[in-house]
Amino acid sequence: MTAHGYRRLILTLTGGLIVAFAGLSTGCDSNSSRSSTSVYAGSSYYRGPGYYDPWYHRPYYGGGNTVIVNPPEHRPPVSRPPVNRPVRPAPMPTVPARPRPRGR
Amino acid sequence: MTFIVSTVSRFLALFGLVMAAGTGSPLRAETLPMLPPLNPEPTGLTIPGKFVWSDLFAEDIDGAKRFYSSLLGWTWRTFGSGVDEYHIAYTDDRPIAGLVYREARAESGAEAGWIVYASAADPGALEARVAAAGGRMLVSPIEVPYRGTHAVYRDGEGALFGVLHSSTGDPGDYRAEYGEWVWTHLFSRDVRAAADFYSELLGYESLDIETTAEPNDFVLASGGHARAGIGAIGPDAPEGARPAWVGFLRVANVDAAAGLVEELGGSVLMLRDLNTFEGRVAVVADAAGATFGLISLNLEAVWDNREERQ
């Protein structure tokens, strides 16, 4: 291995340790701050799975297993019609149409 | 009766006559003679808000009789005598309407006018509520033996209406035959307020008609049937138009009847198709200016298709 190769290896390992440490310490931060939705990992923020993540575009990126994303445990409330909406007879009442009995 | 409400509301040229006929009438109901009951036998029915009677106030009694007999085939019987005479129109031996002498007043713009009566348990008990809404009682409750108790009011907008508690109960809900009243309509400047007022006063269920292009129209229902409609006096109404109740009679052919109205000296104020029931509708004035409506409806087809029939 040449000197250039060693320097390149050291830089790579150092960078990896820095990233690993940064991730570890950030994980501690994450545990102490559960409300945070983003994770700092080096020079970028991880914002959770999103539209631009590659597993949403597997055919484009090619290969890989099928990614199954489970729905969140707590779903947003579903909008429903108001409970106290006015009650309308169905169908709309009309004038009397019953034939009159004979003799009345 | 959605179609009637939305249709009639578009034609307000009639108001010059309708409203004039309903103002300042010196009703002489205190002197009415003994009258026959509404029903030949007690029905045991109480249908609050059902329109059960109509009175025509006119100066020319004989002229009115000729007009309506020629138009609708009504026959007449007279009760009482002199100025207290009360005339009742019949079709097939069923009483349809009353006719009372009323001196024509030039300031009213019409010589005659109709007043419709809705069923109410206690006609006199409505006075406070009518007054609270800006109206007033025109004729205090009068008990007529065998017939019942009636009163006449003017609502907060000026529309006249009567209430009647029949001694023999309310007439049953049967199909209106030709020559009989089939619908009643209120022309109002504030339809929502009017719907609330009459619903509270007479126990109607007020139904906003959302399926038509006129969302401000209402149907007043009680006992499972539509009893009346409320339509707005639009901006195109003639000057001087005022709120009023108008009764509609069922006829076989509206166009023919409207033509006959003109031959008899009356006038046709509106004539057009209805959206449903294969019907036509007209608003006309008799020879003395009393305004009423004519409707042709295929109620037989309605009955044939109704769940009620089962």
> Which of B173, B219, B221 shows the shortest C-beta gap to A98?
B173
Q: Identify whether the C-beta of residue B160 lies closer than 8 Å to the C-beta of residue B22.
A: yes
Q: Is the dihedral of CA B117, B123, B126, B131 positive or negative?
A: positive
Give the pLDDT score at B209. 75
Q: Identify whether the C-beta of residue B61 lies closer than 8 Å to the C-beta of residue B103.
A: no
Contact flag B174-A92 (C-beta cutoff 8 Å): no
Q: How crowded is the C-beta side of B183, counted as CA atoms within 13 Å?
A: 29
Region B32-58: mean pLDDT is 91
Percentage of chain A beyond pLDDT 90 is: 3
Contact flag B174-A98 (C-beta cutoff 8 Å): yes
Q: Which residues of B touch A102 (CB under 8 A)?
A: none
Q: Identify whether the C-beta of residue B230 lies closer than 8 Å to the C-beta of residue B159.
A: no
Q: Identify whether the C-beta of residue B126 lies closer than 8 Å to the C-beta of residue B163.
A: yes
Region B183-210: mean pLDDT is 91
Higher pLDDT, A55 or B92: B92
Region B40-47: mean pLDDT is 92
pLDDT in tens, B150-166: 999 999 999 999 999 99
Residue A89 pLDDT > 80: no
Nearest alpha carbon to residue B288 among B22, B43, B59: B59
State the Cα–Cα distance between residues B23 and B245, nearest whole angstrom: 12
| Weakest-pLDDT range from A23-32, B88-97, B199-208 | A23-32
Residue B252 pLDDT > 60: yes
The rounded Cα B178 to chain-centroid distance in angstroms is 16
Q: Identify whether the C-beta of residue B88 lies closer than 8 Å to the C-beta of residue B69.
A: no
Q: Tell me whether the omega of the peptide bond preceding residue A91 falls within 30 degrees of 0, making it cis.
A: yes
Residue A54 pLDDT > 80: no
**pTM of the shown model:** 0.72
Is the minimum CB–CB distance between B152 and chain A shorter than 8 Å? no
Under DSSP, the state recorded for B110 is B
ipTM associated with this complex? 0.80
Optimal mutation site among B93, B119, B173, B222, interface A, most CBs of chain A within 10 A: B173
Instruction: Give phi and psi for B2, each to the nearest 5.
Output: -55, -40
Contact flag A98-B302 (C-beta cutoff 8 Å): no
Q: Which residues of B touch A103 (CB under 8 A)?
A: none
Q: Identify whether the C-beta of residue B52 lies closer than 8 Å to the C-beta of residue B176.
A: no
CB atoms within 10 A of CB B275: 11
State the Cα–Cα distance between residues B229 and B213, nearest whole angstrom: 15
State the Cα–Cα distance between residues B80 and B96, nearest whole angstrom: 18
Give the pLDDT score at B197. 97
State the Cα–Cα distance between residues B212 and B6, nearest whole angstrom: 7
Q: Identify whether the C-beta of residue B175 lies closer than 8 Å to the C-beta of residue B299.
A: yes
For chain B, list the domains and their CATH numbers. 7-21+174-302 (3.10.180.10), 51-166 (3.10.180.10)
Nearest alpha carbon to residue B225 among A20, A89, A103: A89
Give the pLDDT score at A83. 55
pLDDT in tens, B19-40: 334 444 434 445 557 788 999 8
Classify B72 as helix, strand or coil: helix
> Which of B205, B226, B309 shows the shortest C-beta gap to A95?
B226
Residue A11 pLDDT > 90: no
Residue B124 pLDDT > 60: yes
Residue B170 pLDDT > 50: yes
Classify B290 as helix, strand or coil: coil
pLDDT in tens, B261-300: 999 999 998 888 876 667 888 989 999 999 999 999 888 8
Give the pLDDT score at B245. 95
pLDDT in tens, B174-189: 999 999 999 999 989 9
From residue B165, how far is each of B48, B50, B123 by CA, in Å?
A: 9, 11, 7
Give the pLDDT score at A1. 53
DSSP string computed for A7-75: HHHHHHHHHHHHHHHHHHHHHHHHHH-TT---EEETTEEE--S-TTSGGGGHHHH---PPP--PPPSSP
From residue B214, how far is each of A60, B154, B196, B233, B263 by CA, in Å?
A: 55, 26, 18, 12, 34
pLDDT in tens, B6-20: 444 443 333 333 433
Region B234-255: mean pLDDT is 84
> Which of B205, B226, B300 shows the shortest C-beta gap to A94?
B226
Classify A99 as helix, strand or coil: coil
